[in-house]
Amino acid sequence: MSIAPAGAEGIDTMEINNTAHILGPAYFAVEYVDSMLPRNPFQEPLRGAWDYMLNNYTKFQIATWGSLLVHEVIYFLFCLPGFIFQFIPFMQKYKIQQDKPETWERQWKCFKMLMFSHFCIQLPLICGTYYFTEFFNIPYDWDSMPRWPYLLGQCFGCAVIEDTWHYFLHRIFHHKRLYKYIHKVHHEFTSPFGMQAEYAHPLETIVLGTGFFIGIMVFCNHVMLLWAWVTFRLLETIDVHSGYDIPLNPLHLIPFYAGTRFHDFHHMNFVGNYASTFTWWDKLFGTDWQYNRFQNKQEEKKTQ
């Protein structure tokens, strides 16, 4: 399966951008796996749709309205399962904080805040996407699109950068002199649900959101990476805010992935577990000790 031009076999050194020097081993590993898989039967239809988009819309329209559409559709699509779970009694056994069910009032309040944030805070930032791609000479054409192994490697690199930025800035926002003015907004919900992932003070949206763009500045070599990284980041943040620890979650295959229970405890406890995606920064600085103690007590209760 590949989104590269048909006939592109093996590793073409002309396709490898400068990020390969950073993620070289990962690229070669996933490239080998890709070479063993059958070709994507949807490649030609996808290419036709992509060419149609390029021929009928300007780069500004693609970068701005295309990015907004991707963000809104992906965000609420990923929120939908968690929203439905609250109406299914069987799924309640997977809810982490079962004593704090969602309410229509809380969800409506969250939705209104999201609409303000998406269109009054994030949309102006999205409008700069076109100028960003022009400044860094980022291509839009199909033939320059990286194959899926490179996209995976680049998204992982973006996640590492964003997670590092998020850990330290998030921890600063929890300082007693700042917390009540900014980050307290996000913690209005001690039992999070998926739609609440981007419920935050406007300043927090900008500051913590900067980590998203740093990875793009380092790795981006095609507009498709913007959309791939948006998709992965939304999938991750909605998952950890969902409030449901679903078994067989494919995201748990990612090494050091924090997961829902890890971040749910942060909302319940307010202290510790500051990272967004991975667990290594919390382990390194010992800010997960309360979570580990809580988990040990939960295991003791189960054995008793």
Using one digit for the tens of pLDDT, what is the confidence trace for 156-184?
999 999 999 999 999 999 999 999 999 99
Q: Label residue 19 by pLDDT band (50, 70, 90).
A: very low
> How many Å apart are CA 184 and CA 192, to the nearest integer?
13
pLDDT at 26: 53
pLDDT value at 276 more than 50? yes
pLDDT at 39: 60
251 contacts 257 by C-beta, under 8 angstroms: yes
Q: What is the mean pLDDT of residues 69-76?
A: 96
Q: Label residue 12 by pLDDT band (50, 70, 90).
A: very low
pLDDT at 45: 85
Q: Label residue 7 by pLDDT band (50, 70, 90).
A: very low
pLDDT at 3: 44
Taking residue 77's Cβ as centre, other Cβ atoms within 10 Å add up to 13
Question: Which candidate, 45, 51, 63, places its Cα nearest to that of 222?
Answer: 63
Q: How many residues does the chain have?
A: 304
Write the CB contacts of 200 (distance below 8 Å, at least 6 apart in sequence): 117, 183, 185, 186, 208
> How many Å apart are CA 5 and CA 153, to the nearest integer?
19
Q: What is the pTM of this model?
A: 0.84
User: Would you list the DSSP string of 134-184?
Assistant: HHTT---SGGGPPPHHHHHHHHHHHHHHHHHHHHHHHHHHTSTTTGGGTGG
209 contacts 234 by C-beta, under 8 angstroms: no
Q: What is the mean pLDDT of residues 230-247?
A: 95
